[in-house]
Amino acid sequence: MGKPHVIVIPYPAQGHVLPMLELSQWLVKNGIKVTFVNTEFNHERVLKSLSDSDNIRETVTMVYIPDGVEPWEDRNDLGKLTEAMSRVMPGELESLIGKLNGKEGGEKITGVIADGQLSWAIEVAHKIGVKKAAFYPASVASVASLLNVPNLVSDGIIDNNGRILKDQMIQLSPTIPLMHSTNFVWASVGDEATQKIIFDMLSKFSITNKLADWQICNSSYDLEPGAFSLVPNIIPVGPLLASNRLGKSAGYFWPEDSACLAWLDQQPINSVIYVAFGSLTVFEQTQFEEVALGLELTNMPFLWVVRQDITADINEAYPKGFSDRVQNRGLIVSWAPQQQVLSHPSVACFVSHCGWNSTIEGVSNGVPFICWPYFADQFLNQSYICDEWKVGLRLDKDESGIIRHGEIKDKLENLLSDESYKERALNLQTKTMDSVREGCSHKNFNNFIEWIKDD
Ligand code: UDP
C-alpha cells in the first residue's frame, strides 16, 4: 500500500477554499498526499494571486475541474453557480479520480474530503468505494440548525422550498441561540430562486450525514458546547489556522496587500480599528459612505479592506474629501493578509461581517468585535459573539434600514472603553488555543489522521 492520497474539494467560495487549503496543509504536514480540486475559475485566480513567498504548490497538488458556468456568467450568483455545479461536477470529479488512479507510478486515491455542502462529492466517493469525510468550514450550530428543517415545515414556518411563511423568533433548540426566521442560513442569500437552490443544497446535508464516515468541523467544543450535543457525529478539529501551524494562509482569490503589515508596525499598540467584510458582502452607496464617515468620526487609526466589487462604482463611492481628511491615520487596501493583521499587536478591534472564518480568526487572536452581518450564517455567528461569548457589540439600523456613522462611532467607543470585552476575548482565545494545541480539537484531529492512514 502506498502513501494515503486524498482529494480535498471545497465549495467554490473564498470562505471555503481558504480553510480547506489550510486543512490540506495540516494533512500534508502529517504525511498525507493531497490533491486539491478547485473549479477552473478559482484555480486560475488562486494561482494568479500567489505571492513569491507562497509555497503551496510544493506541498499540495492543485488541480481543477469545470463548474458548469459559462465564462461570461456571474459566479457571484450563488444560485446559478450551485445549480450548474451539481449538474456538471459529479461526473467531472469521478473522471478526475479515474485519471489520477490510472497514472503510472502515482498513488491511488484512498479518500475524498468534501465540503459538507457538496453531498454529491460524498456520493461520488461512496460509488467509487474510497473513504469519505465531510469538512464544515462553518459553526456546528449553523449545521445543526438544518436538522430542524422538517419541523420548520410541519410547524408552517417555512414551506417545502424553504420560503419563510412566518416572520418570528425561533428557538431551534434550547442549546443554541434564538434565531429570527428571516435569518435562516439560506433565507438571506440572493433572490427567491437563489434561496430555493441554496435551501435544496443545504437540505442534502442529510445525505452527507448518512454516508460520510467522518464529519469534521472547523470549530471547538469550547466555542459552541450546546450545538455539538445536537450533532454528536460532527467532530470539532479547529480552529485550523495558519498561525497555529506556524505557516501562512494560502488560497486568496485576490492578491494580498502586505504593505499594511508595515503600516501596522508604525501604529501604537492596541490602537487600530480593522474593518473587513469578507469576500461576498456588497454595500449600497449610502451605506458605504456611512462606513467611511463613521471611521472618520472616531478619530482613531483604521485599516479598512475595500474590495473593488464591494459597491457599484468604487471610484465614486467615498464621501467628498474623505481620503484627504483621513490620510494621516487611515489605510485602505483591496485585500489584506487577514490572519496576520488580526494577530498584530496594534489591532484593537475588528469591524466584521461575522463570516465563520473571520469569527474564529478574531477569537483566536483575542480581538473584540463590532458585528455587521450580511447574510447566511453570519447572523447566528453574531449571536455567539454578542450574546454567548460577549466579546462584541451589534450595530443598530435606523428606520430606513441604514447603519449611520453616529451609530458606528458610538458602538466603537462603547466597545473600546469597556475593558471587559477585551478581557473576555483574551479568555476565549486561551480556551480556544488550548483546545487546538493540546486539547480536544487536537486529539480529534489526530484520530482523524489515523483513520485516513489506516489501511
Ligand atoms: N480575508 C482575507 N483578507 C481580507 C478579507 C478576508 O484574508 O482582506 C479572509 C479571511 O481571513 C477569511 C476569509 O477571507 O479567512 C473570509 O471568510 P469568512 O468566512 O470570514 O467570510 P466570507 O468571505 O465567506 O463571507
Per-residue pLDDT tens digits for 40-53: 999 999 999 998 88
- Is the per-residue pLDDT at 1 higher than 70? no
CA-CA distance, 271 to 286, in Å (whole number)?
Answer: 27
What single-letter amino acid sits at 242?
A
Q: Which SS3 state, helix, strand or coil, does residue 307 take?
A: coil
- Judge if the beta carbon of residue 117 lies within 6 A of ligand 1: no
Between the CA of 198 and the centroid of ligand 1 the distance, in Å, is 20
- Is the per-residue pLDDT at 378 higher than 80? yes
383-423 residue pLDDT tens = 999 999 999 999 999 999 999 999 999 999 999 999 999 99
Nearest ligand 1 atom to the CA of 334 is: 8
Q: What average pLDDT score do residues 351-380 get?
A: 97
CA-CA distance, 332 to 305, in Å (whole number)?
Answer: 6
Nearest to 217 by CA among 142, 118, 131, 126: 142
Model confidence band, residue 227 (pLDDT cutoffs 50, 70, 90): very high
Phi-psi category of 355—alpha, beta or left, where left has phi over 0 and alpha has psi -120 to 50?
A: beta
Between the CA of 130 and the centroid of ligand 1 the distance, in Å, is 32
Q: Give the pairing of strands 131-136 and 33-39.
A: unpaired
- The predicted structure's pLDDT at residue 135: 98
In whole angstroms, what separates CA 343 from the centre of its chain?
A: 18
- Judge if the beta carbon of residue 164 lies within 6 A of ligand 1: no
- The predicted structure's pLDDT at residue 104: 87
- Judge if the beta carbon of residue 280 lies within 6 A of ligand 1: yes
Between the CA of 20 and the centroid of ligand 1 the distance, in Å, is 13
- Judge if the beta carbon of residue 56 lies within 6 A of ligand 1: no
CA-CA distance, 36 to 340, in Å (whole number)?
Answer: 24
Could you tell which of 338, 360, 377, 382 is best to mutate to test the pocket of ligand 1, judged by most ligand atoms within 8 Å of the CB? 338
Structure-block grid coordinates of residue 338? 487577514
Nearest to 342 by CA among 272, 395, 246: 272
| Residue 4 backbone phi and psi in degrees, to 5 | -60, 140
Between the CA of 14 and the centroid of ligand 1 the distance, in Å, is 7
Between the CA of 378 and the centroid of ligand 1 the distance, in Å, is 12
- Judge if the beta carbon of residue 135 lies within 6 A of ligand 1: no
| Residue 361 backbone phi and psi in degrees, to 5 | -70, -40
Contact 249, 324 (CB under 8 A): no
| Residue 32 backbone phi and psi in degrees, to 5 | -110, 135
Nearest to 216 by CA among 4, 8, 455: 8
Between the CA of 36 and the centroid of ligand 1 the distance, in Å, is 19
- Is the per-residue pLDDT at 243 higher than 90? no
- Judge if the beta carbon of residue 20 lies within 6 A of ligand 1: no
pTM over 0.95: yes
Between the CA of 413 and the centroid of ligand 1 the distance, in Å, is 25
Extended strands (E) in 145-293:
169-170, 179-180, 214-217, 234-236, 272-276
Burial class (CB within 10 angstroms; exposed 0-12, middle 13-18, buried 19+) of 320: exposed
- The predicted structure's pLDDT at residue 293: 98
Between the CA of 252 and the centroid of ligand 1 the distance, in Å, is 9
CA-CA distance, 50 to 254, in Å (whole number)?
Answer: 9
DSSP H helices, 302-418, are 322-326, 338-342, 356-364, 378-383, 405-417
- Judge if the beta carbon of residue 276 lies within 6 A of ligand 1: yes
CA-CA distance, 38 to 421, in Å (whole number)?
Answer: 39
Element (H, E) at 308: none
- Judge if the beta carbon of residue 336 lies within 6 A of ligand 1: yes
Contact 359, 389 (CB under 8 A): no
CA-CA distance, 209 to 235, in Å (whole number)?
Answer: 12
Q: Helix 78-102 to helix 192-203 angle, to the nearest 10 degrees?
A: 40
120-179 residue pLDDT tens = 999 999 999 999 999 999 999 999 988 888 889 999 999 999 999 999 999 888 899 999
- Judge if the beta carbon of residue 373 lies within 6 A of ligand 1: no
Quote the percentage of the chain above a pLDDT of 70: 100
Considering the chain, tell me which residue range(s) the CATH 3.40.50.2000 domain(s) occupy: 5-248, 259-432
What single-letter amino acid sits at 351?
V
- The predicted structure's pLDDT at residue 195: 94
- 427 CB contacts (<8 Å, ≥6 apart)? none
- Judge if the beta carbon of residue 357 lies within 6 A of ligand 1: yes
What is the topology classification, in CATH, of domain 5-248?
Answer: Rossmann fold (3.40.50)
Extended strands (E) in 302-410:
302-305, 330-333, 347-352, 369-371, 392-394
Quote the percentage of the chain above a pLDDT of 90: 91
> Which residue's C-alpha comes closest to atom 18 of ligand 1?
355
- Judge if the beta carbon of residue 365 lies within 6 A of ligand 1: no
- Judge if the beta carbon of residue 340 lies within 6 A of ligand 1: no
Architecture of domain 259-432: 3-Layer(aba) Sandwich (3.40)
275-300 residue pLDDT tens = 999 999 999 999 999 999 999 999 99
Could you tell which of 358, 363, 375, 380 is best to mutate to test the pocket of ligand 1, judged by most ligand atoms within 8 Å of the CB? 358
- The predicted structure's pLDDT at residue 233: 95
Nearest ligand 1 atom to the CA of 307 is: 8
Q: What average pLDDT score do residues 222-238 get?
A: 95
CA-CA distance, 13 to 378, in Å (whole number)?
Answer: 15
- The predicted structure's pLDDT at residue 105: 85
- Judge if the beta carbon of residue 142 lies within 6 A of ligand 1: no
Least confident window among 40-44, 216-220, 288-292, 312-316: 312-316
Nearest ligand 1 atom to the CA of 16 is: 24
- The predicted structure's pLDDT at residue 147: 84
- Is the per-residue pLDDT at 117 higher than 70? yes
Least confident window among 8-22, 46-60, 114-128, 369-383: 46-60
- Is the per-residue pLDDT at 188 higher than 90? no
What single-letter amino acid sits at 354?
C
